[in-house]
Each structure stands twice: as C-alpha cells, then as structure tokens.
Structure 1
C-alpha cells in the first residue's frame, strides 16, 4: 500500500521489508490468533458440521468480515497437524469420519502424475555429469496460472543451448 500522508514519500526498500515480514512463514494459524473465530468453529464442529459446511456458513453469517472466514483445509490442519493445533484435538471425533488421524488420499508409494518409463535424474549415466559429451538433454515443464498454459524447456547440458516449446 502506498503511503498517502502529505509530506511523506514512498520508499521501495521499506515497503519491501514490510512485505517480506508479512509474508514470512510459518504464519500463526488463523484459528490460533482469532479466538472468536475459533469458538465459532468449535461450536459448529460440536454440532457435527463438516469443515466445508462451517466455511460456507461463516461466509453467509459474516459476509463483510474477512477475519471471520476460514478455509476447510485450515480447519482440518488445526485438528490434525500438531504444529497448527489451534483447535482441541478431541473435536476430531466430532467429524463425521470420527478419525483422530488424517487418512492419506492415496496409497503409500503411489505418486500423482507419474510418467510411464520415466528415468530419475539420479539414474543418469556418469558421462552426463562431466558434460564432456554433447547430446545429453534435460527437460522441464513450466505450467502457468490455473493450468491454462504450459511451456516445455529443453537444455543441452554441454552447450547450454536452450529450446522453449509452447504446449497447447
């Protein structure tokens, strides 16, 4: 935010420092700092509302108060993640699943977006490491906002010749 007081100037370095401090991680959990919000979420969890329902109800009950909004993921993290535990752990039993520990969505060892036949970078042949022999390429993928755009990058490791490929 630009300083609009008369006689004061905008200072980029000061603004950068303030932005850096505000963005630092880990931030205190919203349910830890806002006691009114925490009480409301605890009350709704006791009524057996799901975190998704609670987040929706808060948007309807407090339409003009940003500080009274919370995402369902924040509620789950406050229940299940010890470092984020602003909510009482006993409230996890109020969830419809009744689980005290979060169940992973996928099986152990299974990874999303696995490429068939992919060779891991640690399995490269040794001659690739010294970059003496040309012809070894390294590829990467850059995906844009909302998965709407994509660019493939190819870099030849000896010469650093780079190709960018627009992907539809």
Structure 2
C-alpha cells in the first residue's frame, strides 16, 4: 500500500487478503461485507477491485509444453556429463530441437545454468501479449461501433460470426470484449465505454446471483408452482400476469396481460415504482375489469410488489 499526500492509495493487498476479497466478490457479497471479512476498509476493497476491473487476475501457470525446473537441472547435468542434446532429450522424453534451443538461448553449453535459465523463462512468460482489439484496428472499430449502438458483447460476438463466416480474424468472443472494456491491462477502448453496456457498471460483477440478506424479501409470497393447472394451461379466463417495464429513469409502466385472451393493459406509474405506488396503480387498473375476469394475478419477485397482499384481485 502506498500513501500519497495524506491519502492511502491502494496499489495492492496482501496475498491472503486478496484471496478473501476475490472469494467474497465471486459469492456476490457487498463491498461492506467483503471489507468485514477481509479486515480492511471498504474503500480499499473498492479501489483494489476497480484496479482489476472486477475480474480476478489469472494465476501464473506453467504450460506442460514448457520445460520445468527439474528438466532444466537434468539438462545441466547432461551437459556436465558431456552428453549430446539428442541424448539429453531422449532421457527427458523431449525433442532434440527443444533441448538444443534451450541451451542456445541461455548462453550455450559452457554458460548454461539451470536456475538462471528457469528465471529467464519465468520473466519472459510474464510479458503481456497484445490484446486482439488493440492489434486489429478494423476489428476494434467494428466492435466499438456496435457498442455505441448499445449492443451487448454477446450480440456483437454472434453478429461478427454471422457477418464474416469465412474470416476467423474478425471473430471475437464476448469475454474478450468485456475484458477490453473493464480490464485496465487490456483496456483498449475508451474508458467510458462501460456506460454503453446495459448494466452501466464501472467494474464487472460476478455472474452469480447476489445473496439476499433479508432486506427486500417479499412476505406472504405464493409460489408459482401452486397455481392450478387451469391457469398454467390458459384454459380459464380471468388470470393475469403483471410486469414492470423500466424506461429512462424515472420513467416506468406496469403491464397486465390476461393469460387466455392476451388482452393487455398498460398502467402508467407517474408517482414512481415504490411498492405502495405500484400496488395502488395496479388495483385501480383492475377495478373496472368485468366480473369473473379478475381471479388471480401473477408477478415476479420484484420489490415493487412488496404490498402485493394489499392488491385484492378476487372474483366479483
């Protein structure tokens, strides 16, 4: 941690704390709860996560194709014993060219040292590769143009494959696009591009559903699985489905659809989307429904229906 001008600027966290932060972040915990679990201030956690775009850095791994420290020790011993590169390679189960290149790039037979060669390989492996969207200007321009049209990374990835079926160079995964938007190390799109994504978040959130800590839980809910078969099969009129449709905040409307006839009512919500306001608006919309045509109302678990028990929708 570095301190500048009396303000703590987080450049990193201890390895043990990082593990706790990433585990809790992956479980969907809030920043405050992550900070409590990690034992650090919440603003330190936020700055650390922002630094990595909300994406945990990949742990360094040695590819099986690369020589291990033990294999390099065997090469060193083989050189000391006067063995040829081919003989050393046979003992390792590697190709002779692999051993020959390993010796040549590390000073030759007279200068080869296993520990020095392994450290050199480790440093070279840490060199960052140029991201796809940074090296291909054409691909970058196409992706950026679609993002400016408010397309999602998934839509862009699918569209590129459809538009360029014979140009694999114009294909890119949605994950690559997300990384270009969020990861500082590979960010090669304008910094404000995240505002074009539907979430509008400054850092990427895990795909897990955020845990509920008791707040916003709807009381007296009736599971959709308890609905009679006549409702599920749309055999009996009078059963409605509702949903909340958000526009540009604070604009919103509620929709009410009768399941059998597919009759639709649009319910304005001029007073907002708080539970009390939504329940009053929905009740008013259903008040003039003909008798026998208002038997049940199905809604999702949105907090706007916290007062669902107040909305009386019974056969009249």
Query: Structure 2 length as normaliser, TM-score?
Result: 0.27
Query: Structure 1 length as normaliser, TM-score?
Result: 0.49
